[in-house]
């Protein structure tokens, strides 16, 4: 066989190899999930119940929404630490504008629908600003978004002087408090966002452009992709998703606390990395990120059912990240 024929054969096999690698990555966490189910069943009779799975889904929904947001940014080769503060500040301002003074609000009594729009607008505006500063003005993403995280967290505390806002209208917290078919609306919404994001990345030209940008920014630019526009747009969408996630958690606890979102970003990165989203950009799938969220949710659920201290829960999450990095090194990552 000639060299040309050999090369042609190898090229023809490449898509098959990539598909196989993608399948391996997609199911890399399956054994861990099976083990967790077995451990959970033996840990407590309450584990394998609809009520427990519903509670776990509700607990994981807001986290999952922010994981989608951060994963989209990571796929472009960047990241945004301030999503943690958007998660707290956006619903805080929205609630502050619609809640009466008795509930620690401003007392303006704005319509809840306007409050929700304000929440999403704040998320989008912060994301747009971050994207512009990182992409156009070339600020270091880590330093700039860390500064934004601190700034927004300070605003979140200062607006209400460290108090908690409550007495929010049911329509404002519907996303986090309502149930459909015995499962929380927040879980259905997050699952839908994961599905839409996965299909968008796989089949839409902008979704494929996100992978191209993360894989090789200059090559994507040379191919005619409007790199800056796509990257800034991803930051804006991520900000809106983080704000929506903040509404979810506000509905779950029926309040917005001054420290809502504290330390969230570490768990977000944990779920993304566990699910195979590359910190270098251009590699990873939403299906993997989803399994990362499910895995962390089950780990926390099992540990809580065992009455484990929260300190050990944090240690377990850190250990899971290290194991996930080892698995990623062994099986590799997939761009498609």
Ramachandran class of 254: left when φ > 0, alpha when ψ lies in -120 to 50, beta otherwise: left
What pLDDT shows up at residue 5? 46
**220 and 212 in contact (C-beta within 8 Å)?**
yes
Which helix or strand (DSSP H or E) is residue 292 part of? helix 286-305
Closest CA to 186 of 308, 56, 303, 93: 56
- Contacts of residues 173-177 at CB distance under 8 Å and 24 or more positions apart, as own/partner, are 173/247, 173/250, 173/251, 173/254, 174/251, 175/244, 175/247, 175/248, 175/251, 176/58, 176/61, 176/62, 176/247, 176/248, 176/249, 176/250, 176/251, 176/252, 177/251, 177/252, 177/254
Q: Are 79 and 70 in contact (CB under 8 A)?
A: yes
Residue extents of the structural domains in the chain: 28-331
Of all helices (H) and strands (E), which one includes residue 183?
Answer: strand 183-184
pTM for the full predicted model? 0.89
Asked: is 28-331 a CATH 1.20.1640 domain? The reply is no
Whether the CB-CB separation of 304 and 47 falls below 8 Å is answered with no
pLDDT, tens digit, for every residue of 208-224? 999 999 999 999 999 99
Average pLDDT, the chain: 87
- Show Cβ contacts of residue 22 under 8 Å, excluding neighbours closer than 6 positions: 285, 334, 336
Q: What is the pLDDT along the chain (336 residues), one digit of tens a residue?
A: 554 544 444 444 544 554 455 545 555 677 878 888 898 898 888 888 999 999 999 989 999 999 999 999 999 999 999 999 999 999 999 999 999 988 888 888 899 999 999 999 999 999 999 999 999 999 999 999 999 999 999 999 999 888 999 889 999 999 999 999 889 999 999 999 999 999 999 999 999 999 999 999 999 999 999 999 999 999 999 999 999 999 999 999 999 999 999 989 989 998 998 888 988 888 899 999 999 999 999 988 988 888 887 778 778 777 877 776 676 666 554 444
């Amino acid at each position: 066989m000639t060299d040309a024929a050999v090369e042609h054969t190898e090229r023809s096999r490449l898509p098959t190899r990539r598909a196989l690698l993608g399948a391996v990555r997609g199911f890399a966490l399956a054994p861990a999930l099976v083990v967790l189910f077995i451990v959970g069943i033996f840990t407590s009779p309450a584990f394998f119940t609809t009520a427990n799975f519903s509670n776990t889904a509700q607990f994981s929904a807001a986290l999952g929404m922010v994981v989608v947001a951060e994963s989209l940014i990571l796929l472009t080769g960047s990241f945004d630490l301030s999503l943690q503060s958007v998660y707290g500040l956006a619903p805080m301002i929205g609630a502050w504008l619609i809640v009466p003074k008795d509930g620690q609000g401003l007392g303006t009594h704005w319509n809840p629908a306007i409050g929700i729009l304000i929440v999403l607008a704040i998320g989008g505006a912060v994301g747009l600003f971050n994207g512009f500063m990182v992409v156009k003005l070339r600020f270091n993403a880590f330093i700039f978004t860390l500064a934004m995280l601190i700034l927004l967290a300070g605003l979140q505390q200062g607006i209400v002087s460290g108090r908690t806002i409550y007495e929010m209208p049911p329509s404002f917290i519907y996303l986090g408090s309502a149930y459909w078919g015995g499962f929380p609306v927040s879980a259905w919404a997050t699952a839908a966002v994961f599905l839409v994001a996965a299909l968008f990345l796989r089949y839409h030209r902008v979704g494929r452009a996100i992978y191209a940008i993360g894989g090789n920014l200059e090559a994507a630019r040379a191919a005619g992709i409007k790199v800056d526009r796509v990257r800034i747009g991803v930051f804006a969408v991520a900000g809106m998703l983080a704000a929506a996630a903040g509404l979810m958690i506000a509905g779950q606890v029926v309040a917005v606390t001054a420290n809502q979102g504290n330390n969230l970003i570490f768990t977000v990165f944990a779920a993304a990395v566990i699910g195979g989203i590359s910190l270098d950009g251009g590699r990873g799938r939403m299906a993997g990120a989803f399994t990362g969220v499910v895995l962390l949710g089950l780990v926390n659920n099992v540990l809580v059912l065992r009455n484990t201290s929260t300190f050990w829960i944090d240690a377990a999450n850190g250990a899971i990240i290290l194991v996930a990095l080892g698995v990623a090194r062994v099986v590799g990552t997939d761009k498609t």
